């Protein structure tokens, strides 16, 4: 949601904080701000809009030289994105500056308390109330660390807080609950960030903070306690990311770079999954085979693109393991009193590992004794940490707000999970599993082939600049692809787009078809079932009513030619694996159309990369 940075050391605090914010801007870009302590005073600068707005102001007049500072890039929750609501916020006496990611749920009650104390609040944010509360504590004689502890004990909700005190120019204090925060350990300097991208330029040694912990940081010392001041051991780790992973590699957008990385990321997500004897192994899985054998129902929970990966997973898991699977939006799951028990396996899919809806859904499931397995891209993020087991997707950092390589690697992880359960439960013979694994291992080359015809898709996209509405049709595993293709177009090009199961069209949506309406159709491979023929009928029905059909169909499928106004060829792959290739032209289409429309593809309006509030 928001990006948070903290620094103490010999460098320029302003420059170090701004550098960190630049790498975290994908988390939110409604406003940005920085605060430093210099000469016994707080100096704060903040601006609505992207970080560039703040940088422009600081270029004209920078903050005084300082070796301690905090910064924030915001995705608005409480109050509109303007200068006043931008973080950092200060207490009434401007002694404390504080930044916050998350939501304080009992802020109304706390606000009343602050206002009763005659404090005037300037912003609409819950954060400003916390700044006042911390300041009240330091003004009554507590040091910043104790003040933070005492305030955290009163807070409900999710928060990462980072604060500095003008009367203690050597110490940064931060706290976390249900919201990310990592510490970067330097030599004579230390860093804080919502993720390691904030500081990998300076150090690769880091500390992972647990739930309800406070970190106190000076140049030479880092101490972690719980909210009651009791020392706790934080886990140290080395960051092995390549800094260039966070750069664009010659592409105009991170998103385009990430689309083109997909052959490699899919290959990476398959590395090390088979033993020498050919058995499937999932190293990070902490669930015993006996536990998996007992599973009689699987519920997949996720949001957005990850939810569509879950829809594909349902087809694969049910087909290969004969275990019933439900797929649920994480935001709805715990509010409908779901039937779960110790033999239910919850699979939580999340690229970021921080999505609040998904995190709270798995907490609910675990409270009812269900086992939770996370499929996640972000090491040590909250969702895998709150789960019993995890399969990491190994896509590397995904910076573009719209998920692409995250989706493909989630699909791979879902296929692997399905095959692993099939191996454990014995629902598929070893040679069948081997054959599917070989097909999966061939996918990076197939994706490369699809990317080879990007130019054709780009031409098509540019020809749709004036289009106001696009429909997407699919069947079976192609149905979630249609939904995902429509989501990509909505979020990037801001064009009305809807995905439908092709068979459902005649039950209502066909009324939308009018002369020239573009309809993108994901055609299933020709197989032994009737899927392909049924899809062809659906395409004919919309074409007969004036739709312009853009069909994605496998190489060699001549039967589609009479009904396709535009034909994009896909490699020949099995129906269950087809989403891995079929989504790629739809990603390219949305990316190029949004570019042609002049939109910011990496940071679409109103969105943030990880949604850490419900």
Of residues 77, 125, 149, 351, which one binds ligand F6R by CB under 6 A? 351
Task: Look at residues 207, 54, 27 and name the one whose alpha carbon lies nearest to residue 4.
Answer: 27
The DSSP-derived string for 264-281 is: HHHHHHHTT-B-TTS-B-
Q: Does 303 bind ligand F6R (CB under 6 A)?
A: yes
CA distance 154 to 100: 15
The residue number with the shortest CB distance to ligand F6R is 304
CA distance 259 to 398: 10
Peptide bond into 88 cis (omega under 30): yes
In the region spanning residues 429 to 488, those forming contacts with ligand F6R, defined by CB under 6 A, are 487
Q: Indicate the residue among 331 and 344 with the shorter CB distance to ligand F6R.
A: 331
Q: Indicate the residue among 12 and 382 with the shorter CB distance to ligand F6R.
A: 382
Q: Does 608 bind ligand F6R (CB under 6 A)?
A: no
Q: Do the beta carbons of residue 213 and residue 148 sit within 8 Å?
A: no
Residues forming a β-bridge with 285: none
**Which positions are annotated as active-site residues?**
2, 609
Q: Indicate the residue among 134 and 611 with the shorter CB distance to ligand F6R.
A: 611
Exposure string of 508-545, with b = 16+ CB inside 10 Å and e = fewer, is ebbebbeeebbbbbbbbbbeeeebbeebbebbebbbee
Q: Does 581 bind ligand F6R (CB under 6 A)?
A: no
Q: Does 265 bind ligand F6R (CB under 6 A)?
A: no
Q: Dihedral of the CA atoms 186, 192, 196, 201 (nearest 10)?
A: -50
Q: Indicate the residue among 179 and 352 with the shorter CB distance to ligand F6R.
A: 352
Q: Do the beta carbons of residue 47 and residue 54 sit within 8 Å?
A: yes
- State the nearest-atom distance from the C-beta of 358 to ligand F6R, in Å: 5
- State the nearest-atom distance from the C-beta of 86 to ligand F6R, in Å: 24
Of residues 38, 171, 225, 305, which one binds ligand F6R by CB under 6 A? 305
Phi, psi of 355 (to 5 degrees): -60, 120
Read off the tokens for 368. 């009812």
Task: Look at residues 381, 12, 13, 11 and name the one whose alpha carbon lies nearest to residue 172.
Answer: 13
- State the nearest-atom distance from the C-beta of 365 to ligand F6R, in Å: 16
Of residues 31, 73, 123, 403, which one binds ligand F6R by CB under 6 A? 403
Q: Do the beta carbons of residue 63 and residue 140 sit within 8 Å?
A: no
Residue 302 host element (H or E) = strand 297-302
Read off the tokens for 3. 């990006």
Q: Does 610 bind ligand F6R (CB under 6 A)?
A: yes
Where are the alpha helices (H) located in 527-578, listed in sequence order?
A: 531-544
In the region spanning residues 49 to 108, those forming contacts with ligand F6R, defined by CB under 6 A, are none
Q: Does 304 bind ligand F6R (CB under 6 A)?
A: yes
Q: Indicate the residue among 69 and 406 with the shorter CB distance to ligand F6R.
A: 406
Question: Of 73-81, 241-249, 300-308, 583-591, which segment contacts ligand F6R by CB under 6 A?
Answer: 300-308
Q: Indicate the residue among 487 and 513 with the shorter CB distance to ligand F6R.
A: 487
| Residue 457 CB neighbour total at 10 angstroms | 24
Q: Does 358 bind ligand F6R (CB under 6 A)?
A: yes
Read off the tokens for 386. 């709150």
Q: Does 16 bind ligand F6R (CB under 6 A)?
A: no
- For ligand F6R (CB under 6 A), the number of binding residues is 15
Residue 172 Rama label (left phi>0; alpha psi -120 to 50; beta): beta
Of residues 73, 213, 352, 578, which one binds ligand F6R by CB under 6 A? 352
Question: Of 48-56, 349-357, 533-541, 551-559, which segment contacts ligand F6R by CB under 6 A?
Answer: 349-357
Question: Of 1-9, 62-70, 301-309, 560-568, which segment contacts ligand F6R by CB under 6 A?
Answer: 301-309
Q: Indicate the residue among 144 and 327 with the shorter CB distance to ligand F6R.
A: 327
Q: Kindly list the residues in this chain that would bind ligand F6R in the complex (CB under 6 A).
A: 303-306, 350-352, 355, 358, 402-403, 487, 491, 610-611
């Amino acid at each position: 949601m928001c990006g948070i940075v903290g620094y103490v050391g010999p460098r320029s605090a302003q420059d170090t904080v701004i550098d960190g914010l630049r790498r975290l801007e994908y988390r939110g870009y409604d406003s940005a701000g920085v605060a430093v302590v210099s000469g016994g005073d707080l100096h704060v600068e903040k601006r609505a809009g992207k970080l560039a707005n703040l940088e422009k102001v600081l270029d004209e007049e920078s903050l005084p030289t300082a070796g301690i500072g905090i910064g924030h890039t915001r995705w608005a929750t409480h109050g509109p994105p303007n200068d006043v609501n931008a973080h950092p916020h200060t207490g009434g006496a401007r002694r404390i500056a504080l930044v916050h990611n998350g939501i304080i749920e009992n802020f109304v009650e706390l606000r009343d308390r602050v206002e009763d104390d005659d404090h005037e609040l300037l912003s609409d944010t819950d954060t400003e109330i916390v700044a006042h509360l911390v300041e009240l504590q330091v003004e009554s004689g507590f040091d910043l660390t104790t003040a933070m502890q005492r305030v955290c004990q009163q807070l409900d909700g999710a928060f990462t807080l980072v604060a500095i005190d003008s009367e203690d120019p050597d110490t940064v204090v931060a706290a976390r609950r249900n919201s990310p925060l990592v510490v970067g350990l330097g030599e004579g300097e230390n860093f804080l960030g919502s993720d390691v991208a904030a500081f990998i330029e300076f150090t690769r040694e880091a500390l992972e903070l647990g739930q309800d912990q406070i970190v106190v940081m000076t140049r030479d010392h880092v101490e972690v306690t719980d909210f009651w001041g009791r020392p706790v051991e934080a886990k140290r780790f080395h960051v092995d990311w390549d800094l260039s992973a966070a750069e664009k590699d010659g592409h105009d957008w991170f998103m385009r770079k990430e689309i083109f990385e997909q052959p490699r990321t899919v290959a990476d997500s398959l590395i090390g999954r088979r033993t020498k004897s050919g058995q499937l192994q999932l190293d990070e899985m902490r669930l015993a085979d006996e536990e998996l054998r007992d599973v009689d129902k699987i519920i997949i929970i996720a949001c957005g693109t990850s939810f569509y990966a879950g829809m594909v997973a349902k087809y694969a898991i049910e087909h290969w393991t004969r275990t019933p699977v439900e797929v649920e939006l994480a935001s709805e799951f715990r509010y409908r009193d779901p039937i779960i028990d110790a033999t239910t396996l919850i699979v939580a899919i999340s690229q970021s590992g921080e999505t609040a809806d998904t995190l709270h859904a798995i907490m609910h499931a675990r409270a009812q004794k269900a086992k939770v397995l996370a499929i996640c891209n972000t090491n040590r993020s909250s969702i895998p940490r709150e789960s019993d087991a995890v399969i990491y997707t190994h896509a590397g950092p995904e910076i573009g707000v719209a998920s692409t390589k995250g989706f493909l690697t989630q699909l791979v992880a879902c296929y692997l999970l399905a095959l692993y359960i099939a191996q454990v439960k014995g629902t598929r013979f070893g040679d069948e599993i081997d054959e599917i694994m070989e097909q999966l291992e061939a996918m990076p080359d197939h994706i490369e082939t699809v990317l080879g015809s990007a130019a054709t898709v780009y031409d098509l996209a540019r020809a749709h600049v004036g289009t106001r509405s696009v429909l997407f049709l699919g069947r079976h595993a192609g149905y979630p692809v249609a939904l995902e293709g429509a989501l990509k177009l909505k979020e990037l090009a801001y064009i009305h787009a809807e995905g439908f199961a092709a068979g459902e069209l005649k039950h209502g949506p066909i009324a939308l078809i009018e002369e020239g309406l573009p309809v993108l159709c994901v055609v299933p491979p020709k197989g032994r079932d009737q899927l392909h023929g049924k899809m062809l009928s659906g395409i004919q029905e919309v074409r007969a009513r004036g739709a312009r059909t853009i069909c994605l169909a496998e190489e060699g499928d001549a039967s589609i030619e009479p009904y396709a106004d535009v034909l994009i060829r896909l490699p020949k792959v099995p129906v269950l694996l087809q989403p891995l290739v079929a989504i790629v032209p739809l990603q390219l289409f949305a990316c190029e159309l949004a570019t042609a429309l002049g939109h910011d593809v990496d940071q679409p309006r109103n969105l943030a990369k990880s949604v850490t509030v419900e």
